[in-house]
Amino acid sequence: MKHVTWMTLSLVILMFLFHAAIMCDARAMVSSQKLRSLAARYNVTSIIVFGDSSVDPGNNNGLPNTWHKGNFLPYGDDFLRSVPTGRFTNGRLVTDFIAAALGYTNEIKAYLDPHLKEEDLVHGVSFASGGSGYDDMTANITNVISLNKQLEYFREYKIRMERLVGKERAHKTMDNAVFILSMGTNDFLQNYYFEPTRSHMFTINQYQRYLITCMETYVKKMHSLGVRRLAVVGMEPFGCMPLIRTIKNSVKCDGEMNQVALSFNLLLKEKVTSLEASLGMRTAFIDIYGVIQNILLYPSRYGFVETKKGCCGSGLTEFGTNLKGSSMCADHSKFIYWDAVHFTESMYYIIAEKAVNSIIATFN
Residue 223 designated active-site = no
pLDDT band with cut points at 50, 70 and 90 for residue 28: very low
pLDDT tens for each residue of 72-92: 999 999 998 788 999 999 999
Domain span holding position 283:
2-363
Mean pLDDT on 273-284: 96
Q: What is the mean pLDDT of the chain?
A: 89
**Residue 29 confidence class, pLDDT cut points 50, 70, 90:** very low
pLDDT score for 11: 41
Share of the chain above pLDDT 70, in %: 87
Q: Which of 132, 342, 346, 358 is catalytic?
A: 342
Per-residue pLDDT, averaged over 259-283, amounts to 97
pLDDT, mean of residues 247-257: 96
Structure confidence at residue 357 (pLDDT): 83
- Asked whether the beta carbons of 50 and 128 are under 8 A apart, the reply is yes
Distance of CA 138 to the CA centre of its chain: 17
Domain count, the chain: 1
User: Is pLDDT of 20 > 80?
Assistant: no
- Indicate which CATH number applies to the domain containing 161: 3.40.50.1110
**Model confidence band, residue 42 (pLDDT cutoffs 50, 70, 90):** low
Does the active-site annotation cover 339?
Answer: yes
Mean pLDDT along residues 218-225:
98
Whether the predicted pLDDT of 49 surpasses 70: yes
Percent above pLDDT 90 for the chain: 79
What is the predicted pLDDT for the residue at 358?
Answer: 85
Whether 19 shows a pLDDT value over 70: the answer reads: no
Q: What is the pTM of this model?
A: 0.90
| pLDDT at residue number 364 | 67
Write down the catalytic residue from 56, 96, 135, 339: 339
**pLDDT for position 81:** 78
Instruction: Give the CA distances from residue 338 to residues 228, 289, 348, 361, in Å, rounded to whole numbers and listed in that order.
Output: 34, 18, 11, 30
Active site residue 175: no
Q: Residue length, the chain?
A: 364
Check 53, 54, 126, 146 and give the catalytic one: 53
Confidence of residue 18 (pLDDT cuts 50, 70, 90): very low
Query: Which SS3 state, helix, strand or coil, does residue 95 take?
Result: helix
Q: What is the pLDDT of residues 139-161, one digit of tens each?
A: 999 999 999 999 999 999 999 99
* pLDDT average, residue stretch 289-301: 97
CB contact at 8 A, 87 and 169? no
Residue among 151, 43, 133, 57 at smallest CA distance from 95:
57
